[in-house]
Structure 1
Amino acid sequence: MSVNLTNNTCSEIVWTQRFLVSSIVYALVLAVGLPVNAVSLWVLLRRHGLRSPSAVLMINLAASDMLLALSLPLRVYFYATLRWPFGTGMCTAAVMMFRINIRTSCIFITLISLDRLLALVFPLRSRSLRTSGFASKFCGLVWILITILCIQESIIYSRALNKSLCGSNIFCFEVQVEGSEPVAIGQASFFLILLVINIISTVMVICALRKRPSVDAAKVNNKMSVILIFVVNMMVFIVFILPFSLQLMMVTLKNEELEYKTGREVLRALICLASVNCCLDPLIYYFSLDSFWQDKSKSQGYATTHSLSKSMERS
């Protein structure tokens, strides 16, 4: 079921149900994720722009998800045909697009949670910090650091692909490159830290909302929208991101051959599952921004009647 790369030998990939399931899952994620994120990105840029820190963070998250969605046609083709005629460069780019998405989306989701927390719990003290300019600079720094990290990984991965060539065929997404233990442990620890930040933010926001009286149904709905933001964030981390990261660390640390092969199969399945996260992120935009489909300037009058939403959108 996997490619044997030891001693530069070459083994054929035997068709199994796993490849069929992978091609179907990636195709479904592509069919949903690409149009939904494309529309979300268009709405965010056209209707909301860079006028608030929350909008800036969500635009960057949507761009990250678009990066993943654009790489999925290549995964669908490979797992449906078990052929890769596009060369090592295209394969390396597709793999790096997935890694960039996983890392940047986790950071942007956490920043969105922190932005919601500051806007709700510390609305006055955080006004100087919650600016669109600061958010843009921070997002730019995230893109630069993650891209630099992936450039180094792309060189290693490209070399591994060249060593795994079987004639003119490339096994692409089935090639697994051994990572160093410190990097695997560091990445898993980083994701755990981000998860803890999201948990703390969720608890603090829920406690703050419980202390605020609700006098009408509109304010109750606003509170539910705020809670749903954090629910989606937690789901993305716990269901899609964290299992993949922890399994990657476990595979890197395992030495026994049988456990190693089993761990690799589980890791490939979790990579497939992790791609689904780009379909859920648009829910964050919908619940975070008042009148998501309307121009922000046209919805100001409506927003003034809802103090909770207005405080969360204030720059």
Structure 2
Amino acid sequence: MLNATLEDGGAERDMRSPAYAALFGSVVALGLPFNAASLWILVRRHSLKCPCVIFMVNLAVSDLLLVVTLCMRVYFYTTGVWPLGNMACVWTTMLFRNNIRSSSIFITFISVDRLLAVVYPLRSRHRRTASNACRAAVVVWLFVVAMNVEEGLEFSAFLKDYNGSSCFEFREQPPQGSVMAYCQPVLVLTMLAVNIVSTALVSLTLRTRSKGSAGIKNKVNVMLIFAMNLAMFAVFFLPVSMAVFFKGGWSRSRTPLICLASVNCCLDPLLYYFSFDGFWKTKEDVDTSNTRE
């Protein structure tokens, strides 16, 4: 009995991780002001008539929701105690998973939008509309929320049977549904494939077009957007998707990869900056440039 108590006490002490608390705290310190400022700039200084801006606004909202959950992780890894109950644990976990899903989809939408603007500028004009972008954003949010239903129920049942005060660190691996266990990695791999194809087509188009007929002011920025998108998937989204949703050898690296994945919310503002010739320009300038497209 004494040994069991000592083991429980050791487990509780192991939950306190100043390194994880510092990493998540740094992401909060950077991600919160950067994404809040980016969201304000996108809404106030850019036209929501541009589909790319609409996708970026939704991406910023997704990142801000992630930052809120990281504040709770900072508290947990600082104290080693989760005082908010099972429902808060479920919602915090689901919001983190939603960020991986929604971010990967919205980043892919941005890539596809840039692909259409560069490769098919005339044929895609009637499809690249604000109304279509809003519909796509609504479908994305409904999709990621629907995925939470089965996951949330299973995770909530696991927490009721689990005899411990932890939320993010468990002595036993939480169960994964047979379908949901593969849904996230399949989604991320699919979005990655779309980004790779988009990058290849845009790169080929920019190479084959003559300088005078390209119609793109800054080709370096265009390719930098696609390079950043591919890096997001390779570094942040794909590894954590494998670690969280597959058991085995990945389980030991799960928490470090979650730390790494959370950094994506600090780098997304760079995507917003390089997506526009002038990130600080006014709505009138954006409307004029969109009309010229």
TM-score normalised by L of structure 2? 0.89
Partner of residue 204 from structure 1, selected from 195, 201, 210: 201
Q: State the partner residue of 1:120.
A: 118
Deviations 1:183-242 (A, max 9, x none): 222321221111111011001111111123446xxx887101101111110011000100
Q: State the partner residue of 1:134.
A: 132
Partner of residue 172 from structure 1, selected from 164, 167, 173: 167
Q: State the partner residue of 1:52.
A: 50
Alignment of 1:73-152 (within 5 A): 73-152=71-150
Q: Take 1:103 and 1:21, find their aligned partners in 2: how far apart are those partners? A: 26
Distance 1:214 1:146, change over 3 A: same
- Give the secondary-structure state (helix, strand or coil) at the position aligned to 1:237: helix
Q: Take 2:202 and 2:89, find their aligned partners in 1: how far apart are those partners? A: 42
Q: State the partner residue of 1:269.
A: 256
Q: State the partner residue of 1:233.
A: 229
TM-score normalised by L of structure 1? 0.83
Q: Runs of 4+ in structure 1 displaced over 6 angstroms?
A: none
Does structure 2 conserve the Cα–Cα contact (< 8 Å) formed by 1:52 and 1:131?
yes
Deviations 1:266-310 (A, max 9, x none): 122211211111111111111112321121204667x5xxxxxx6
Q: Take 1:224 and 1:103, find their aligned partners in 2: how far apart are those partners? A: 28
Question: AA paired with 1:205?
Answer: V
Distance 1:121 1:150, change over 3 A: same
Distance 1:225 1:247, change over 3 A: same
Does structure 2 conserve the Cα–Cα contact (< 8 Å) formed by 1:10 and 1:165?
no
Does structure 1 conserve the Cα–Cα contact (< 8 Å) formed by 2:242 and 2:250?
no
Displacement of 1:249 after TM fit?
A: 4.5
Q: Take 1:66 and 1:239, find their aligned partners in 2: how far apart are those partners? A: 20
Distance 1:67 1:61, change over 3 A: same
Does structure 1 conserve the Cα–Cα contact (< 8 Å) formed by 2:55 and 2:109?
yes
Does structure 2 conserve the Cα–Cα contact (< 8 Å) formed by 1:113 and 1:201?
yes
Partner of residue 296 from structure 1, selected from 268, 271, 283: 283
Displacement of 1:16 after TM fit?
A: 4.7
Q: State the partner residue of 2:33.
A: 35
Distance 1:107 1:48, change over 3 A: same
Does structure 2 conserve the Cα–Cα contact (< 8 Å) formed by 1:291 and 1:299?
no
Distance 1:108 1:16, change over 3 A: same
Instruction: List runs of 5+ in structure 2 lacking aligned partners.
Output: none
Distance 1:214 1:42, change over 3 A: same
Count of residue pairs brought into register by the alignment: 284
Does structure 1 conserve the Cα–Cα contact (< 8 Å) formed by 2:38 and 2:60?
yes
Instruction: List runs of 5+ in structure 1 lacking aligned partners.
Output: 252-259, 304-309
Does structure 2 conserve the Cα–Cα contact (< 8 Å) formed by 1:164 and 1:171?
no
Question: AA paired with 1:114?
Answer: V
Q: Take 1:49 and 1:279, find their aligned partners in 2: how far apart are those partners? A: 23
Q: Take 1:101 and 1:240, find their aligned partners in 2: how far apart are those partners? A: 11
Question: AA paired with 1:84?
Answer: W
Task: Using the TM superposition, name which of 133-142 and 45-54 deviates more.
Answer: 45-54
The root-mean-square deviation of aligned C-alpha atoms, in Å, is 2.4
Partner of residue 248 from structure 1, selected from 234, 244, 247: 244
